[in-house]
Amino acid sequence: MNTIAIKELLYKMADDLLIMGHRNSEWTGLGPVIEEDIAFSSMAQDKIGQAGALFEILHQLGENEPDTVAFMRDANKMHCSQFVELPNGEYDFSMIRHFLYDHADQLRFEMLVNSSFEPLAQVAKKIKGELKYHVFHANTWVVKLGNGTEESKARMQTALNESWNYALGMFETGDFEKELQSENIFEGEEALKTRWMANITPFIEKANLKVPDQSTWAPILGGRKGYHTEYLQQLVEEMGEVFRLDPTAQW
Amino acid sequence: MIKSLDPRITREQIELNNPINPLADMDQWETYEVFHQKKRGDQHEHVGIVHAPNLEMALLFSKEQFGRRGISVNIWVVKTSNVFASDYDDADIFETVPDKQYREAGGYKVMEMINKYKKENKKII
């Protein structure tokens, strides 16, 4: 088993989930209506739990304790895509990001159900239902807002346009694509991107939105290699603030 | 600038003398009654109400409001406006119910009859 390749895969997945979960949790108490506030916060918690499960596998592979890994690293040591670290903006952007990210996340785990790396396959099986709900939630909101008022349509289209190249950056290829493929651990970012396009397109159409013209596509890369926007360092400091006060404290 | 313990508020850089504009009236969403089923074959039980703009979103919210703790296998949502209810002014139609014990199984003194029968037929049994 190629441990370095597996670790790289686990880190990028876990960091995406951790940072996305943290960002989404920033809506807690500020959501548009109480029901949605609870639903969105609950899903944010799910994501942090999923990140925790992956950090636990990493720990089994010799990495530090999950809490240490989650809260003590600076931004340049994080492997999340730049997409998930962007500030929440308004609900239109948060919903579009939720839609684009969660579809990719669900598909990635779906592909990993049959992974030859058993611990990851087990997590993938276990969280199938959670992911299904997250995507159902995203689809419902995006279709509803895309078919709402003139303002909501315009906001959703703008958010989609602004998100697009960041979203493509989620599929930045790593150094071990071939190894992961040949050992039947993970089929790879390109395969994931193809499936993602096929899955999101019908919902984008149903929402009466348009995927930006292909001539404008320019994936924003670097996140997987530790290059991030200015927002991530601010986020990790805030997220780890209490833990960093006393890393040895027992909770 | 408002400096809050909540970093999300501080980040917004809100002026201290920021006049608080009243929110515009929202178009209120309807309410939906939520019923959940704990396991297949059980009756669905009423568990509460959610606000939602349509049935699909009512279902979406119900799952998190009422299905995130404990086990559910199924949820129904029904528009509150579709529920036809009795009037509290008519609550007197239920008033004599406590008197009608004979309509309940517990209303029959069966055990007494059984014991009497047993006693009478002690030798035979």
pTM score, whole prediction: 0.88
CB of B48 less than 8 A from some CB of A: no
Strand partners, B46: B35
CB of B72 less than 8 A from some CB of A: no
pLDDT digits (tens, 9 = 90+) for A210-231: 999 999 999 999 999 999 999 9
Q: What is the pLDDT of residue B22?
A: 67
Q: What is the pLDDT of residue B124?
A: 62
Distance between CA atoms of A180 and A201, rounded to whole angstroms? 27
Question: What CATH number should be reported for the domain whose range is B29-120?
Answer: 3.10.20.520
Q: Where are the alpha helices (DSSP H) in chain A?
A: 3-25, 34-60, 66-72, 82-85, 91-112, 118-126, 128-146, 150-168, 177-182, 189-206, 230-245
Q: What is the pLDDT of residue B6?
A: 84
Query: Domain ranges in chain A?
Result: 3-245
Q: Which residues of B touch A42 (CB under 8 A)?
A: 64, 68
Do A140 and B50 count as a contact with CB atoms less than 8 A apart?
Answer: no
Do A30 and B52 count as a contact with CB atoms less than 8 A apart?
Answer: no
Give the closest-approach CA distance of A61 to chain B in angstroms: 32
Do A35 and B63 count as a contact with CB atoms less than 8 A apart?
Answer: no
DSSP state of A63: P
Q: What is the pLDDT of residue B107?
A: 65
CA-wise closest residue to A158 among A205, A212, A231: A212
Architecture label for domain A3-245: Up-down Bundle (1.20)
Window 8-37 of B: residues touching A by CB (8 A cutoff) are 8, 29
Query: Domain ranges in chain B?
Result: 29-120
Residue A187 pLDDT exceeds 70: yes
- Least confident range from A170-179, A215-224, B14-23: namely B14-23
Which residue would you say has higher pLDDT here, A154 or B69? A154
Do A42 and B51 count as a contact with CB atoms less than 8 A apart?
Answer: no
Output b/e per residue, B5-41; b: 16+ Cβ within 10 A: eeeeeeeeeeeeeeeeeeeeeeeebeebbbbbbeeee
Q: Shortest CB distance from A35 goes to which of B7, B52, B56?
A: B52
pLDDT digits (tens, 9 = 90+) for B88-116: 999 999 888 888 877 777 667 778 888 88
CA-wise closest residue to B57 among A144, A95, A129, A153: A144
Q: What is the pLDDT of residue B26?
A: 60
Q: Shortest CB distance from B8 goes to which of A26, A39, A144?
A: A26
Q: Which residues of B touch A23 (CB under 8 A)?
A: none
